Amino acid sequence: MKVPQLRKKLEIKSCHNITWEDNYSWIHQTNILEVLKDKDKLNPEVKDYLIQENSHTEYHLKDTKNLQKELFDEIKGRIKLDDESLPYKDHTYEYWTKTTIEGNYSIKLRKRINSNKVEEIWNGDKEKKKLEVEYFGVGDLEVSHNDKFLAYSLDIKGSEYYTIFVREIETNKIITKEIYDTSGSITFSLDDKYIFYSKLDNNHRARKIYRHRLGNLDKSDDLIFEEKSEAFTVGINLSSDEKYYFISSSDHNTSEQHYFDVDEKIPNPKLIKKRRKGILYSINSWDSKFYNHTNEDAEDFKIDISDSLEKQNWRTFVAAKNEVLIGSCMFLKNWILRSETSNALDKLFVKNINSGIEEEIIFSDEPVYVPNVSFRQKDRNTDEVYIGYSSPKTPSRVYLYNFSTKQKKLVKEQLIPSGHNPDDYIVERVEFKSHDGRLVPLTITRHKKTKIDGSANLLLYGYGSYGNSMSPSFSSTRLSLINRNIIWATAHIRGGMEKGMKWWKEGKLINKKNTFEDYIYAAKYLIEKKYTSKGKIIGMGGSAGGLLMGAVVNKVPNLFLGMIMAVPFVDSLTTNLDHSLPLTVGEFDEFGNAKENKDHFEYIFSYAPYNNIKKMDYPHMLITTSLSDNRVLFDEPAKFTAKLRDYKTDNNLLLLKTEMNAGHGGKSGRDGAIEEISLDYAFALKIAKKL
């Protein structure tokens, strides 16, 4: 089959007196945000190229069709399709969700407390069918405090422009105007006369909070807050004690909050603490006290407490610890829960408010597991809450835990219908030295029959951006590779917060290359310790993890058998220089500002994957993207693929697959997600010669 070729049109770009060539910049449309909402506005020549690439990918993966079907059935077979969530109570009803064997989307149910009559108030599959759309993304699904109204937000393109609807549950009728171009989140007022929402601006940034009166069919909504900085986005939430609304403005590095009382007729948000660069804070209220979760004078966060937001007499409630990330608080009448993260492991603590005694809740003797707490009940006058855990080999287990008696009752266990024995798997947590001597955690999961003699293939997963930590929780999908003698390793590299805020700072801005080096040294460690061998590793990462893959493959391609790159951020210099794109301005403190800062420019230029493609052999590569993705535009992976075809000197696979009806998260629905995983895994097994 003929290899697709994207037409070249040379453009000489220049910044800070440095020039470079770009043969494919022409595919970026100035009206790109319109294209995301309406694919008919896509340049026909570019559309034709993407379709050719899809055909090319399908041709080269046609020998995996049966394997993809086998993987799909296998992965779906590990899911209890007809499942129900645990119920949570508000004052009048119990609410829960369920999935069915046939359906792709969840159903929301409720029944009055002490009643057996079950009422269906939302059915995603029926809603999608009614709209006759291919993509169906639900942003938010909220029931009013009086249980009369259901508010929901929908994205039917994948571009994350959400439309808000409000319907009366009893009659199923829409009772107010549709609200377009929102971020998707919905907050009801306590009197259920209004909803609060954030509106997206022309650059897809949420910078305004509006109040909409239910029943308003034509008049404009009330603007109650506007963020002036283009780098900050806003959101609104109700305090735990339901006495205040907090409006939060933030980028990735700095935050600021305003508040107003729930009973204010005309909301008048008041500033709590003026923003200071690099200072993050988040305030909540409970039992006439205010709790501030902040990194001010506490790099890895602390929690302060005050009796007043006017006087702000802050004092320490939970002190800072070095390289231990302190989480925020959750409140019951007599108990306060909080979390800590250190060395890529999470812990849960509960404090008795009356005695002041705090204890860690320990679930398992496994060396690696992830605790979690389900905290949705409206009644806070209780000693019981749903708490659970999972590990890389143990499916999720949820207990009803009593803080007073310390008794726990297993109430839900993630069932694997096709069968699963945790004892068949070995989970290891190791540390390796990176290029600068820093110890980096690594979680390794393998089948007990897999030999550690260098013969096994290994999938090395990484991300390392925005302070996002990679939790070592259970994934039933990964078993399809692990059961086929492919070891799964997750590198907890810098750029996340697995070892606190410092871990993030050491992997961003002009420290970004630490992220890449950590990943490379993880690969070298795994080779040295005979988990795998050079040329047997498959790299995998998505979005900013795709930036990681691109930077690493340009530097050490011979370490890898292949790369799987999902919606990869590979033309990072071009995106950073374009301040009109949705995420760029808000990410200056993550990646730098190349346009205004020469040092940032030179640093980004030195690692940006698209700009650093070389004449050399590359491993097999599968690159996936989505046409309506507003976070990483489809033209980044398209340009990256086209340029790779010009430069690479090997005959290895280079495949680009574009979802023409999806966004950053890929296809919508349960089956759609499984199909994408099956494709990725089939590619991995093909290049590992395990067809």
422-443 average pLDDT score: 98
139-146 average pLDDT score: 96
pLDDT of residue 351: 95
pLDDT of residue 691: 75
pLDDT above 80: residue 2: yes
pLDDT above 80: residue 239: yes
What percent of the chain has a predicted confidence (pLDDT) above 90?
A: 94
pLDDT of residue 531: 98
Instruction: Please answer whether residues 285 and 260 qualify as being in contact, where contact means their C-beta atoms are separated by less than 8 angstroms.
Output: no
Instruction: Please answer whether residues 82 and 99 qualify as being in contact, where contact means their C-beta atoms are separated by less than 8 angstroms.
Output: yes
Quote the CA–CA distance of 570 and 545 in Å, as a whole number.
Answer: 10
Q: What is the pLDDT of residues 570-596, one digit of tens each?
A: 999 999 999 999 999 999 999 999 999
Q: What is the pLDDT of residues 668-677, one digit of tens each?
A: 999 999 999 9
Q: What is the pLDDT of residues 588-641, one digit of tens each?
A: 999 999 999 999 999 999 999 999 999 999 999 999 999 999 899 999 999 999
pLDDT above 80: residue 46: yes
pLDDT of residue 621: 98
Please give the structure tokens belonging to residue 84.
């129900």
Instruction: Please answer whether residues 214 and 166 qualify as being in contact, where contact means their C-beta atoms are separated by less than 8 angstroms.
Output: yes
pLDDT above 80: residue 212: yes
Q: Are β-strands 654-659 and 620-626 bridged in parallel, bridged antiparallel, or unpaired? A: parallel
3-state secondary structure at position 647: helix
300-305 average pLDDT score: 96
pLDDT of residue 252: 83
Residues pairing with 430 in the sheet = 442
> Dihedral angle at the C-alpha atoms of 437, 440, 446, 450, nearest 10 degrees?
0
Amino acid at 329: C
Model confidence at 375, in pLDDT bands (50, 70, 90)?
Answer: confident
Model confidence at 219, in pLDDT bands (50, 70, 90)?
Answer: confident
Q: Which domains does the chain have, with CATH numbers?
A: 53-76+419-687 (3.40.50.1820)
List CB contacts of 651: < 8 A, sequence separation 6 or more.
Answer: none
Residue 130 φ/ψ, nearest 5 degrees: -60, -40
435-456 average pLDDT score: 98
pTM of the predicted model as reported, rounded to 2 decimal places: 0.95
Burial of 387 (0-12, 13-18, 19+ CB in 10 A): buried
pLDDT of residue 22: 98
Residues in the chain: 691
Q: What is the pLDDT of residues 177-194, one digit of tens each?
A: 999 999 999 999 999 999
348-355 average pLDDT score: 94
Instruction: Please answer whether residues 255 and 282 qualify as being in contact, where contact means their C-beta atoms are separated by less than 8 angstroms.
Output: yes
Catalytic residues: 543, 629, 664
Residue 529 vs residue 664, higher pLDDT: 529
- Quickly count: other Cβ atoms within 10 Å of residue 17's Cβ: 6
Residue 627 vs residue 378, higher pLDDT: 627
pLDDT of residue 376: 74
Instruction: Please answer whether residues 292 and 283 qualify as being in contact, where contact means their C-beta atoms are separated by less than 8 angstroms.
Output: yes
Tell me the DSSP string of 542-598: ETHHHHHHHHHHHH-GGGEEEEEEES----HHHHHH-TTSTTTGGGHHHH--TTT-H
Quote the CA–CA distance of 620 and 628 in Å, as a whole number.
Answer: 26
pLDDT above 80: residue 330: yes
Instruction: Please answer whether residues 498 and 344 qualify as being in contact, where contact means their C-beta atoms are separated by less than 8 angstroms.
Output: yes
For 125, 152, 170, the CA distances from 122, given in Å and listed in that order, are 9, 10, 12
Mean pLDDT of the chain: 96
List CB contacts of 123: < 8 A, sequence separation 6 or more.
Answer: 103, 105, 107, 108
List CB contacts of 113: < 8 A, sequence separation 6 or more.
Answer: 89, 92, 93, 94
